[in-house]
Structure 1
Amino acid sequence: MNKGRLEAFSDGVLAIIITIMVLELKVPHGAGWDVLAAQWPVFLSYVLSFVYVGIYWNNHHHFLHAAQKVNGASLWANLHLLFWLSLMPVTTGWMGENQFAPLPVAVYGVVLLMCALAWQPFQRSLIAANGGKDSLLAQAVGADWKGWLAVAMYVSGIALAFVAPWVSCLFYATVAAIWFIPDRRIESRIKQ
């Protein structure tokens, strides 16, 4: 099965997710610094989510670039991933509008966790469709320590949200920082 339609569909969905998030930003009513200061939680949550969507788009691109084909399992796994990513605008807005209150921060973390967990079947399905354990993708992914570290930090962040929501947000931002630099494993394997 050709991967072009999967790439195009996914790019479109991710573009819509970013568009929805930016449309949730409201124009400040007033011209003073105090009006802008009141908007910082909304803007900060938007920036974090924008970075996350960008990271998923970047890694999705690299994975599909290395894959030669997709199958039915890849299509469904991709839809599963896109479902969880599509909840980013809602949780982003809720967290920002409520100034990082415990429950919105925890729910935001749950969505991040589910996105990370949904990445795993997507990754495995592409590996299976492209040669299995001996494939270029399987070699590039290796043990995927960054993926499992992210899951552990999300779970910790969710638990901490009810005690120290800012620590949770710091965990979420740390995971984004870890993944912000594109994963070079795939690029280096393709060049070999």
Structure 2
Amino acid sequence: MKKTRLEAFSDGVLAIIITIMVLEIKVPHGEQFSDLKELIPVFLSYALSFIYIGIYWNNHHHMVSTVHQVTGGILWANLHLLFWLSLIPFATGWVGENHFGAAPMALYGVVLLMAGIAYYILQSLIIKNEGKDSLLAKAIGKDMKGKVSPFLYLAAIVVSWVNPVVSGIIYCIAAFIWLIPDKRIERSIRQSGRDVEE
């Protein structure tokens, strides 16, 4: 399979996930701005999840751009990632409807943790298939972000039972870490192009 088909399918699923999330924001029965107050938790949970989906879409795009051959293992690993990402709308809706309750915040963290693990599996399979000297392997390097994130999710899951607000702050910190532009893969691709020209 060509990687363009994998990218197109993944992009379509992520677009549907965002659409499902925004459709969960119900229009209030009222014409005053005060009627929107009840939607604040719903909107905040949607905004955070939108950022997470955007981060995954961006990183997935960069990662797949380094792939030369798509194997069956990569296809299943990609579906595994999309499975966990497809649960984000449910977790997001539960968090918003229950105003950041303990159990919903814990479940939200579990989904994020499993999505992170699934992404790591996909990344590892691509590196295994492309080789240790591949663009992705060189770009990833020590992958500190990838190593820190699971611990943040685990901490947020535990803290959610004590203080859901602090748990939400930890999820925001994890998102912010990934929101900072990561130029490693782009740099590797540009460097590879220069090496070929030389």
TM-score bracket, normalised by the shorter chain, equals over 0.9
2:80 counterpart SS class: helix
1:163 counterpart SS class: coil
1:50 counterpart SS class: helix
Residue aligning to 1:85: 85
Residue aligning to 2:44: 44
Alignment of 1:107-146 (within 5 A): 107-130=107-130, 132-146=131-145
Alignment of 1:135-174 (within 5 A): 135-174=134-173
Residue aligning to 2:194: none
Matches of 2:69 and 2:23, distance apart in 1: 35
Distance apart, 1:69 and its partner CA: 2.0
Cα contact 1:42–1:93 (8 A) shared by 2: yes
Matches of 1:160 and 1:33, distance apart in 2: 33
Q: Does 1:10 align with 2:6?
A: no
Residue aligning to 2:196: none
Matches of 1:129 and 1:28, distance apart in 2: 51
Letter of the structure 2 residue corresponding to residue 94 of structure 1 = W
2:25 counterpart SS class: coil
In structure 1, runs of 5+ residues without a counterpart are: none
Letter of the structure 2 residue corresponding to residue 184 of structure 1 = K
Letter of the structure 2 residue corresponding to residue 63 of structure 1 = M
Cα contact 1:55–1:180 (8 A) shared by 2: yes
The range that moved more, 30-39 or 13-22, is 30-39
Matches of 2:18 and 2:166, distance apart in 1: 25
Matches of 1:48 and 1:4, distance apart in 2: 28
Matches of 1:69 and 1:164, distance apart in 2: 46
Residue aligning to 2:54: 54
CA RMSD, 1 decimal: 0.9
TM-score by length of 1: 0.97
Matches of 2:87 and 2:51, distance apart in 1: 15
Distance apart, 1:5 and its partner CA: 1.1
Matches of 2:148 and 2:31, distance apart in 1: 43
Q: Does 1:182 align with 2:181?
A: yes
CA offsets 1:10-35 (integer angstroms, 9 cap, x no match): 01100110010011110111122321
Matches of 1:10 and 1:114, distance apart in 2: 17
Matches of 2:69 and 2:178, distance apart in 1: 25
Distance apart, 1:129 and its partner CA: 2.0
Cα contact 1:58–1:182 (8 A) shared by 2: no
In structure 2, runs of 5+ residues without a counterpart are: 192-198
Distance apart, 1:158 and its partner CA: 0.1
The runs of at least 4 aligned residues of structure 1 exceeding 4 Å deviation read none
Matches of 1:23 and 1:69, distance apart in 2: 36
Matches of 2:95 and 2:16, distance apart in 1: 20
